[in-house]
């Protein structure tokens, strides 16, 4: 399978979910039903998660220090050392997170550490047989306006 680069246009719908009280309901109300069901199972079932990731998974590693702003040409996460992603929770309120609905087949989940330029990003795509994680950037300095 060949994945073409996906460029975000200004027509994408950004769904901000930083207020914990409205988080769960606003996510359900604004995201496609099949994505919400996938997203729940993706985080609950490790075998399901592994089957719904396109490996090697393109992305970027998490930052390793304050001088880690140089982006490697291409980075790929490998199946052998993948760590299960759990559903995002933020009991301390140190992060904002939102979804960017690029179109009916591409949804991004962004997490930002408040007061910093550190972002984590996951891109999901709806393929013929369901939703898949197709890109993962660990927490690192990012300018989301240039993504």
pLDDT of res. 135: 98
Question: What's the pLDDT score for residue 17?
Answer: 46
Residue 85 is assigned to a structural domain of this protein: no
Q: How many domains does the chain fold into?
A: 1
Of 27, 4, 140, 6, nearest in space to 87 by CA: 27
Question: Whole-number mean pLDDT of the chain?
Answer: 82
Residue 114 counted as domain residue: yes
pTM of the complete model: 0.78
- The answer to whether residue 147 sits within a structural domain is no
pLDDT the model gives residue 88: 93
Q: Cα(79)–Cα(136) distance, rounded to whole angstroms? A: 13
Q: Find the CATH number of the domain harbouring 117.
A: 3.10.450
pLDDT computed for residue 64 by the predictor: 74
pLDDT digits (tens, 9 = 90+) for 68-79: 666 667 899 999
Is residue 147 classed exposed, middle or buried when 0-12, 13-18 and 19+ CB atoms within 10 A define those classes?
middle
Give the per-residue pLDDT at 6. Answer: 32
Q: DSSP labels for the chain? A: ---------TTSEEEE---HHHHHHHHHHHS-HHHHHHHHHHHH-HHHHHHTEEEEEEEEPPP-STT--PPPS-EEE-GGG--PPPPP--TT--EEEEEEEEETTEEEEEEEETTSSEEEEEEEEEETTEEEEEEEEEEEE--GGG-
Residue 40 domain-assigned (yes or no): yes
72 occurs within a structural domain: no
Residue 77: inside a domain: no
For the stretch 5-55, pLDDT in tens is 333 333 455 555 444 434 444 455 689 999 999 999 999 999 999 999 999
- Please tell me the least confidently modeled range out of 48-57, 106-115, 124-133, 137-146: 137-146
The residue range of the domain holding 42 is 13-62+92-142
Residue 14: per-residue pLDDT: 53
3 occurs within a structural domain? no
């Amino acid at each position: 399978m060949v994945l073409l680069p996906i460029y975000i246009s200004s027509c994408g719908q950004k769904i901000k979910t930083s207020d914990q009280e409205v988080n769960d309901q606003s996510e359900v109300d604004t995201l496609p039903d099949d994505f919400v069901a996938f997203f729940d199972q993706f985080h609950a079932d490790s075998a399901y998660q592994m089957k719904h990731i396109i490996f090697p998974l393109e992305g970027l590693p998490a930052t390793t220090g304050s001088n880690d702003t140089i982006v490697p040409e291409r980075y790929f996460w490998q199946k052998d050392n993948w760590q299960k992603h759990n559903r995002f929770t933020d009991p301390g309120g140190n992060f904002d997170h939102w979804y960017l609905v690029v179109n009916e087949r591409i949804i991004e989940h962004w997490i930002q550490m408040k007061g910093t330029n550190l972002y984590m990003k996951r891109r999901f795509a709806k393929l013929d047989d369901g939703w898949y994680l197709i890109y993962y950037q660990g927490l690192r300095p990012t300018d989301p306006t240039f993504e």
